Every structure is written in C-alpha cells, then in structure tokens.
Amino acid sequence: MKVPKFEYAQPKSIGECCKLLEEHGANAQAIAGGTNLMVALKNRLKVPKMLVDLCCVPNLNGIRYSQKDGLNVGALVTLRHLVADPVVREKYAIFARAALDVGSAQIQAMGTIGGNLCQDSCCLYYNRPPMWRQGLEACHKLWGTVCHAVRRSKTCWATYCGDLAPVLLVLGARVKIADPKGEKVIPLSELYSGDGKVPHTLHPGQVVMEVQVPTPSANSGGAYLKLRVRKTIDYPLLGVAVTLALEGGDGTFRDVKVALTGVGKAPLLIKAADELKGKKITDEMIEGLAEAAYKQAHPVNNASGLTPKYRRDMVRIYVKSAVDQSLEAATRRGGGT
Amino acid sequence: MKTTITLQVNGDVYELSVEPNQTLLDVLREELALTGTKKGCDSGACGACTVIVDGEPVLSCMTLAVRCQSKEITTIEGLARNGELHPLQKSAIEHDAVQCGFCTAGWLLSAKVLLENNPAPTRAEVRTAIAGNICRCTGYKRIEDAILAAAGKNTGWRKKM
C-alpha cells in the first residue's frame, strides 16, 4: 500500500507549526510518531495535502519532574523513553504500565505520548482498506449517513481505544495546547469530544505540547488492566484504570478514581467514584462502583475478537480486580498501616 | 516534490532523492536494493520490516524516509561484519530457528536491540522484546532459545549430529 502524495513541512518552532496547520485547515495533518496515522494514510482514511512533521519542533522531547509541579512530559516523548524513565517507573507506575501495554516494542519506540492521546477512534467498518470499504455505503465517520456498527444510528459509534488517556484521567492530568494565539492548559477530559466522528476538541492549528501530571499522594496506589485477544499490538477491547488514596490506618478512601477505555466514544471517567471519598471501604461499595462503571460502558459491535456483551460484562470484573490491585499497591506504600 | 536526504545505512552514507510519501521500507528495498528487510502486513502489525534506527527497533513500513535524515540505520545486511556472522545469526542457524525465513530479519534486529540494552535477558523479557514479530512457522521456542543462547544462557539444547 502506497502512502498518498502530500506536501511535507518540517517547521522549526511550535508557532510556525500552528500557523501552518491553521493555514491549511482541514487539508493539513500533523504527524508525531506516525504509528496510528500511517495506517490511516495507507487506507486513504486521511488524505492530507500538507503533512506537518512535529519532529523538529524543539522542547517537546523532555521529561521533567519536581515534587511541587509533578511530572511534565513533552508530547514527542516516545513510549519507550517514558517507560525507561526511573521517576515515571517509581512514582507513576500505572502510567508506565499502560505505555508498556501499547503495541509492540517497535510501536513503543516510535509512538509518542501526544500522538497516543490524539489517536483517532476505531471501528471495524472504518479502519479498512479502500477496496473493502467500497462494498459498503459511506458511514458517518467517512462523512456519509449510515452507521454499520449500530443500525439506524444517526451518529458515529467509533470507539476511543487509547491506553494512556484513562490512566492520565485518573491521575488528574492536564494538557498544554498550543495554538497560533498562544498556549493554554486544559484538563485532559476536555480534549475529548465524545463524538465518534471527530473524537477530539482540537481546532485546526492546535497541537498538544505537553502532559502535566500532578504528584500522586503518598498513600496511593493504582492499576491498569487491559482486555484484548492478541497480547501485543491489539487495541484495548476494554481498559480499566484505577487510582485510589487511603486515609492512614482505618481503611477509608481519601480519593478514588476509575476510568474506562475501549467501551465508549471517549475515555470515560466514572462519576460514581467521587461519592466514595471519605467513606470506609466495604465490599458492597466496590460492587457498587463496578456496577456504576458497567452502566456507563457502551461497547458496540465494532471490534473483532470479543462480543460487546462479553466486553461489557468484563467491566464489572476488571473494575473489581483493578480496585483490589490498587488497594494492595496503596497498602504496600504505607496507606494501610 | 522530491527531497534530498542523507541516510546512513549499515555504516554507508547514501544521498538520495525521495518523495515525501515514500516509506523507509520502500527506499531500502527499491532504491538501495537491501531486500533483506521484508514487507509483510505493511500496516505495522507483523514486525517483518523491523530495522534499527538510532538504536531503537522501528517498523520501516510505518516510517517516512524523509524523517530519517542523518539517522543511523541498521538492516539485516549490516549484522554480519567482514564476512563473519553476528552471534545472533550463528545462534539462529545452530538452533534451527529459521524455517521460511520471512520473519527472521525482523526478530534478529529486535533481539539485537534487546541484547544491547539487556545483555542477560530472561525468557519472559525475550518474549516481550520479540512479541511484535510474528512467526507463523517455528512456534517461537527455537527463536527464544537462539536469542538466549546468544546471550550466553544455557537453554539445554543440543544439536543432534
């Protein structure tokens, strides 16, 4: 499969990059690691006239940490680079875990943090070669009027399948976004639109520059569990991220957060988790949390491997396991003593 | 519009004029005739096209050649030095870790990166490192044995004479 023709630019500053992207609007496409984009280009899902390469933009490549400001990761840091960082491994173990669960060693060496957060949503009827797609009417994501995954649906049901987003959501991350007018920092959840067709809220000319993750508190632990068929390569058919912090001694939640991926149009932060703050941990409470997550998850029939029902049923089980593992990790760190 | 780039492949420097939409894999195979690197799925899932770029294992089918300006690239052709096979290659032959051979170039390079970063890997670490390289013939056991043996580990394997 040949990549379609395009003009290619390597801007040397973030300002130049945003200007180029804004100028060419819908005809421009930014490229970071390219692992997600290259397949879309080969399948003619994206046919940009101008490809803007971020590789030469300075200062997007670093990892900085301080106790006060937390972790700052440049958008172009590769997953492999992130995982190799001792601070990330120690203080943000679930971030490293999720990065290790993305694709293969090769994809981790190429794929970037920013690119992973901005990856397109997936659908069995969309992520296909042009010949295959010719046999079907154009779907919403291809600017048509039908959905093949959910019959008679008026909207697109393509699923958000990033691994890092749920983990960064539960860690309370924010993203720094550059646009031609300047820079702004927004909570990560605002990066996602909840629309299968256009899953991000970025406008033409906007680029994710940096991810900012606050320092986790001392008595906290987390887990990321990923359901898939082939242990390498596959996108999550379900991903569950949990972080929780314990009040010292008496087994009370100071904070608990749960997020899902692979079962909705955007990464989903489970709202019911907020109500558990300051309450004593019981089995019923964890059951309730799993039930709330189950209700918020809406996998549809647009991924190969496992049925939507199975994936949804697994939400309960994965949430419970992830909470158990997080409790164990938090206790190990001194939360339960 | 064609762009002129400089590629360092296996220690040789090439000045090439490439289209921005050419992948590194196509340039290696079609412009430089280095056909040891294989085109498998051409969509980043099989690992047959793995090459080493600046010390990292990279899928050449998913890399645009214009992005490799001045980067150091190692392909399977660069593994043997002065007619002497790389220890991994020798080990692969000794362990019969090659059947059809289509995946071999890819996993050898993945293994080379692994051993450079971790000279004494466990079997689990070997599996993780080559998980992105699909082999449909060997069942992986002999590939793992070959890599572990190249790292100096006794895998209990004896070649029958």
Kindly give the residue spans of alpha helices, DSSP state H, lying in chain A.
14-24, 37-42, 79-84, 86-91, 93-100, 105-110, 113-117, 130-134, 164-170, 283-296, 308-332
pLDDT one-digit tens code per residue, A153-206: 999 999 999 999 999 999 999 999 999 999 999 999 999 999 999 999 999 999
Query: Looking at CA atoms only, how far is residue B47 from chain A in angstroms?
Result: 8
**How far apart are alpha carbons B105 and B50 in whole angstroms?**
7
Task: Compare CB distances from B44 to A7, A39, A55 and report the shortest one's residue.
Answer: A39
Judge: B64–A34 Cβ closer than 8 Å, yes or no: yes
Would you say residue A250 has pLDDT above 70?
Answer: no
Q: How confident is the model at residue A337 (pLDDT cuts 50, 70, 90)?
A: very low
Question: What average pLDDT does the structure give for chain A?
Answer: 94
Please report residues of A whose CB lies closer than 8 A to that of B58: 106, 109-110
Residues in chain A: 337
Q: For an interface test with B, give the residue of A102, A106, A108, A131 to mutate (most B CBs within 10 A).
A: A106
Rg (CA), chain A: 20
DSSP E strand boundaries for A161-266: 174-179, 182-187, 207-213, 220-227, 238-247, 252-261
The predicted structure's pLDDT at residue A249: 64
For residue B122, give every residue at least 6 positions away whose Cβ sits within 8 Å of its Cβ, in sequence order, or none: none
Residue identified by tokens 């601070």 is A87
Q: How confident is the model at residue B159 (pLDDT cuts 50, 70, 90)?
A: low
| Residue B63 in contact with partner chain A when CB distance is under 8 A | yes
**How far apart are alpha carbons B67 and B59 in whole angstroms?**
13
Judge: A106–B132 Cβ closer than 8 Å, yes or no: yes
Judge: A42–B21 Cβ closer than 8 Å, yes or no: no
Report angle CA A17, A165, A89 to the nearest 5 degrees: 100
Judge: A7–B67 Cβ closer than 8 Å, yes or no: no
Please report residues of B whose CB lies closer than 8 A to that of A2: 21
The predicted structure's pLDDT at residue B160: 53
| Residue A103 in contact with partner chain B when CB distance is under 8 A | yes
Looking at this predicted complex, what is its ipTM? 0.94
Please report residues of A whose CB lies closer than 8 A to that of B62: 34-35, 38-39, 110
| Residue A50 in contact with partner chain B when CB distance is under 8 A | no
Task: Compare CB distances from A8 to B20, B62, B131 and report the shortest one's residue.
Answer: B20
Task: Compare CB distances from A80 to B21, B56, B66 and report the shortest one's residue.
Answer: B56
Q: List the single residue in A with minimal CA-CA distance to B60.
A: A106
Please report residues of A whose CB lies closer than 8 A to that of B60: none
Rg (CA), chain B: 16
Judge: B132–A104 Cβ closer than 8 Å, yes or no: yes
Judge: B113–A103 Cβ closer than 8 Å, yes or no: no
**Are B150 and B112 spatial neighbours (Cβ–Cβ below 8 Å)?**
no
Q: List the single residue in A with minimal CA-CA distance to B128.
A: A105
Q: How confident is the model at residue A327 (pLDDT cuts 50, 70, 90)?
A: very high
The predicted structure's pLDDT at residue B91: 96
Would you say residue B96 has pLDDT above 80?
Answer: yes
| Residue A232 in contact with partner chain B when CB distance is under 8 A | yes
Please report residues of A whose CB lies closer than 8 A to that of B65: none
Mean pLDDT value of segment B88-110? 96
| Residue B97 in contact with partner chain A when CB distance is under 8 A | no
- Cα-based distances in Å from B53 to A24, A31, A314: 31, 18, 39
pLDDT one-digit tens code per residue, A28-81: 999 999 999 999 999 999 999 999 999 999 999 999 999 999 999 999 999 999
